[in-house]
Structure 1
Amino acid sequence: MSGIDVLVVGDANPDLLLTGDVVPRFGQAEQLLDTADLVLGGSAGIVAAGLARLGVATALAAVVGSDQFGSFVLDRLNERGVDTSAVTVRDGIATGVSIVLSQENDRAILTLPGSIPMLGADAVREAVRRLRPRHVHVASYFLQPSLARALPVLIDWLAGEGITTSLDTNWDPAERWEGVGDLLPKVSCFLPNREEALAVSSAVAGRAISDIDEAGALLSALGCRVVVKAGSDGGIAYEAGARSAEAPGLILDVVDTTGAGDSFDAGYLAAMLGGVDSERDRLRWAAASGSLSVRGLGGTAAQATRADLEALQAA
């Protein structure tokens, strides 16, 4: 099989998204919620769905269990048009799941890893050989320690095959941020949010960094393009140790911010692979994709279409 533009590598799981009175009070207190929705989650799953929504030929490499949650994940991905032939279904393993406690301006996430850490480098290589993608995007680095250990060699192999790469680590639950600095000289693009960029740059520098321009300059000086997701401020790009471009987000009524950063990633990669040469225009695609996704509950319900982004570019 051929014709895949992007192979997304990482986590795919359901998110149980809860809104309303979501801050737990122990002592057997019963609290009433506003909504409870089971939606497609996992950074890699949301990025893959967003890319497919934008018309990019996309496959996902991940592991799910042979349970109801695994079937749910595959159904949602197939409905969106993602190639799931590289998603492994494992017997006797529970599909990972996240419970998202969502408030207007913040959220807490409780995750059962389950099948998420079980994706290995050999499965990624097999998928690459079969699908021949132009680009590989790796998500949720810290939830997949086995894959993370193999990534330096794997990314070198991908480069030898002429395949570009991007990385979105997401948050490190241990808050140690180990290994990322060694990867950044190898990947084409690093896509952290503001807090992740500050944390990774502090780990690399061995001292606290609180200024995002200092963080972006330091990380991009390692050899990759750094594209920072700055929430309502949009996106900021850094190359060769300096800020190179920026673009604002859209002003919208926010329903739910879950997965907005993953939709940002999808918009940026769609622009990059779709021949958008201006870095500012790539950031406009990315920032608009992230902004539009907050119109609905969950990470994928309100993701942007290509027509949405082209209309914004024309405005």
Structure 2
Amino acid sequence: MPDLDDGPGHDRPAFDVLVLAELNVDVIMRSDRSPQFGQVELRVPSGAITLGSSGAITAAALASLGLRVALCGVLGDDPVGDMVLEMLDDLGVDRSAITRRPARGSGITLVLSRSDGDRALMTFPGTMSDFTVADVPESLLRSSRHVHISSIYLQSGLVPGLPALLSKLDPAVTVSLDPGWDPGSTWTTVEPVLPHLTWFLPNANECVSVAGGDDDPESAARKIATLGPTVVVKLGADGALMAPSDGGPTVRVQSRAREPVDTTGAGDNFNAGFIASVLGMVLPGGSPEALALGCACGAISTAGIGGTGRLATPSEAAELARSLLGSGAGPTTEHDTTGGAPQDAARPDLEHR
């Protein structure tokens, strides 16, 4: 871990981004046929074990974009945990603040992926729920420009102390949250955290669910934005939209259709591009640039297997983002809450993980 001494001569934070994450591996099986019970064996055309975790994938994508990234979370003292640490080392993410729990199993997610981009996920949380604010070093919070939090519904141990932790951050530190899917379908866990966020980064389904389930993604985003954060909604092949916290006009950037190899982690790669831009790196600018860089990183990631199989480089991400901004793909600014949801808004496979 870099020197965290914030005394004289150490004015620059040691890290650009600190990620508070659930940790797991993804076991990805690709097939257009669904499994059957009754001991029916199904042969699939491909399979892989990759780094999982929304937060870990975002951390890896940020590191690929040239940012200094630290990851904090909890793993079991088991071979799966060893594998996660090795992957993070290979991807250039500082994992010195990851804690190991003896006699506990690390998280595992089974991803059943189809050629049309749709997926089903099965997750064994393992140590995800063991992670609490007590596991987050205060020195690390003082030495990071931005804090990103992932999959809050899987991190039940982190939630109770999170509002208090975020309220103590230096005002200059920005905060983002990608909520992930709520397996319990209650969607209320995130509410106490929203006022402490700078940016809220759900996909369309998550945004609508958090808002109460009766709105299209744009009106849902504007509703959530009244609670404090600027809301950025990932719309998959339809790009992304932003509802500013100050009630200003909605900003949209359209993406560009491409044939995906695997959409796992596309939303997490979007997070990385967006965060890099708002921190003034890779493609600094305003809201359109941040949305475009997010869309570019998400699109590039679909060319590989798993969330880290194809990470964007700074130059290619910036080039694709500029092409989105310079073409009919985007951006647009609007304030219309009466329109319908984008065509792919109901497809979580294109929007998250």
Q: TM-score, normalised by structure 1?
A: 0.94
User: Where do residues 48-87 of structure 1 align in structure 2 (5 Å cutoff)?
Assistant: 48-87=59-98
2:210 is the alignment partner of 1:200: yes
CA distance in 2 between partners of 1:157 and 1:254 (Å): 42
1:299 alignment partner, one of 307, 314, 327: 307
Cα distance per residue 1:214-240 (max 9 Å; x no partner): 101111122211000001011100113
Cα distance per residue 1:247-279 (max 9 Å; x no partner): 112322211111111000011001111252310
1:272 alignment partner, one of 250, 259, 278: 278
2:118 is the alignment partner of 1:106: yes
User: Where do residues 92-241 of structure 1 align in structure 2 (5 Å cutoff)?
Assistant: 92-103=103-114, 104-126=116-138, 128-129=140-141, 132-159=143-170, 162-202=172-212, 208-239=213-244, 240-241=246-247
Normalized per residue, the structure richer in strand is 1
Give the residue type in structure 1 aligned to 2:16.
D
Give the residue type in structure 1 aligned to 2:131.
L
Contact 1:289 1:309 in 2 (8 A): yes
**How big is the alpha-carbon RMSD for the aligned residues of Structure 1 and Structure 2?**
1.5
2:100 is the alignment partner of 1:89: yes
Q: TM-score, normalised by structure 2?
A: 0.84
Greater CA deviation, 55-64 or 269-278?
269-278
Q: Give the match for residue 205 of structure 1.
A: none
Q: 1:22 deviation in Å?
A: 4.8
CA distance in 1 between partners of 2:181 and 2:247 (Å): 23
Cα distance per residue 1:62-106 (max 9 Å; x no partner): 111121111111111111110010111222111110000111231
User: Where do residues 277-296 of structure 1 align in structure 2 (5 Å cutoff)?
Assistant: 277-296=285-304
**Structure 1 pair 7–29 and aligned structure 2 pair: CA distance change class (3 A):** same
Give the residue type in structure 2 aligned to 1:157.
K
CA distance in 1 between partners of 2:133 and 2:229 (Å): 22
- SS in structure 2 of the partner of residue 266 of structure 1: helix
1:309 alignment partner, one of 303, 308, 317: 317
Moved >6 Å (runs of 4+)? none
Q: Give the match for residue 36 of structure 2.
A: 25
Greater CA deviation, 134-143 or 245-254?
245-254
Give the residue type in structure 2 aligned to 1:113.
P
Give the residue type in structure 2 aligned to 1:269.
I
Q: Give the match for residue 350 of structure 2.
A: none
Q: Show structure 2 runs of 5+ residues with no match.
A: 5-13, 324-353
Q: 1:313 deviation in Å?
A: 4.1
CA distance in 1 between partners of 2:118 and 2:255 (Å): 18
CA distance in 2 between partners of 1:45 and 1:190 (Å): 18
Q: 1:289 deviation in Å?
A: 0.7
CA distance in 2 between partners of 1:157 and 1:216 (Å): 26
2:45 is the alignment partner of 1:34: yes
- Number of aligned residues: 308
CA distance in 1 between partners of 2:111 and 2:85 (Å): 20
Give the residue type in structure 2 aligned to 1:278.
G
Greater CA deviation, 213-222 or 257-266?
213-222
- Percentage of identical aligned residues: 38
**Structure 1 pair 178–159 and aligned structure 2 pair: CA distance change class (3 A):** farther
Cα distance per residue 1:100-151 (max 9 Å; x no partner): 011123111111111111111022243525x610110010101111211111
CA distance in 2 between partners of 1:244 and 1:211 (Å): 13
Greater CA deviation, 209-218 or 39-48?
209-218
